[in-house]
Structure 1
Amino acid sequence: MVFRVLAEATMTVHFAFLVYVVAGGFLAWRWPWAIWPHLVLAGWGFSTIVFGFDCPLTHLENWARHEAGEQGLRTGFIDTYLTGVVYPERYTTLLQMLAGLVVLVSWAGFLVRRRRPAPARVTAPN
């Protein structure tokens, strides 16, 4: 039971990771320090697609599922839970490019917002 919960929790974290990789740069518009973890995690997400690096979350989920007596993922996380389930396989490249575009837009918006002078604070007269 514990390993099944761990596997499900890992799957949930993995989904959150994907959302953050794609859209997390927009958080930096509000909280500028958030750009640094986003750069690192977006770089990692990019490297798993381009260079085929294995994701440690996939390994953790596989291990937990095997320990729970279940079958692990036959392919990667995205291939298992998204491709062919949420969108047809033929759109994979298009969706990867769109995700990359969203990341670049968030970074460009971050840079524009950082270069803009801060608005003057209005103080109430005493």
Structure 2
Amino acid sequence: MPYRLLADGVLLLHLGFILFVVFGALLVARRRRWLPVHLAAAGWGVLIEATGAVCPLTWAELYFRRLAGEAGYHGGFIDHYLVPLIYPAGLTREMQIGLGMGVLAINAVLYVWIWRRRPVQARRRRRPA
């Protein structure tokens, strides 16, 4: 049971990391100190997709699943709903490259938006009340 919980925890962490990679620039828009963390995470996500490598979080999850006596993904909310989001069926190399490029595109748009709105905010702060 504890290994199953650890595997599910790693899966949730993995999903959270993926969401941070894709949408973390929105957090950067609110708190600039997240910029280096998000750029590193986004770079890692793009690198994993571009090279076809397996994320260490996947290995950790599968390790805990084996310790729990599981062979694959079946049963339960997490297995049924979250696993297909992270490990879609029929994932091809071309799809992986497309996902990596999609991450780059989403983040490029978000960072352009952040940088364009920055001067507007600075001008508003300098105006006398």
Normalising by structure 2, report the TM-score: 0.74
* Counterpart for residue 92 of structure 1: 95
After TM superposition, the structure 1 = structure 2 runs for residues 1-126 of structure 1, keeping only pairs within 5 Å, are 1-72=1-72, 81-82=84-85, 83-84=88-89, 92=95, 96=99, 97-116=101-120, 118=122, 119-120=124-125
Deviation at 1:109? 1.8
Q: 1-side partners of 2:125 and 2:114: how far apart?
A: 20
List runs of 5+ in structure 2 lacking aligned partners. 74-82
Deviation at 1:12? 0.6
* Identical positions, percent: 31
CA RMSD in angstroms comes to 2.7
Aligned residues: 115
List runs of 5+ in structure 1 lacking aligned partners. 74-79
Q: 2-side partners of 1:101 and 1:19: how far apart?
A: 15
Greater share of residues in helix: 2
Query: SS of the residue aligned with 2:57?
Result: helix
Deviation at 1:121? 6.3
Once the two structures are overlaid, the 10-residue window that deviates more, 91-100 or 57-66, is 91-100
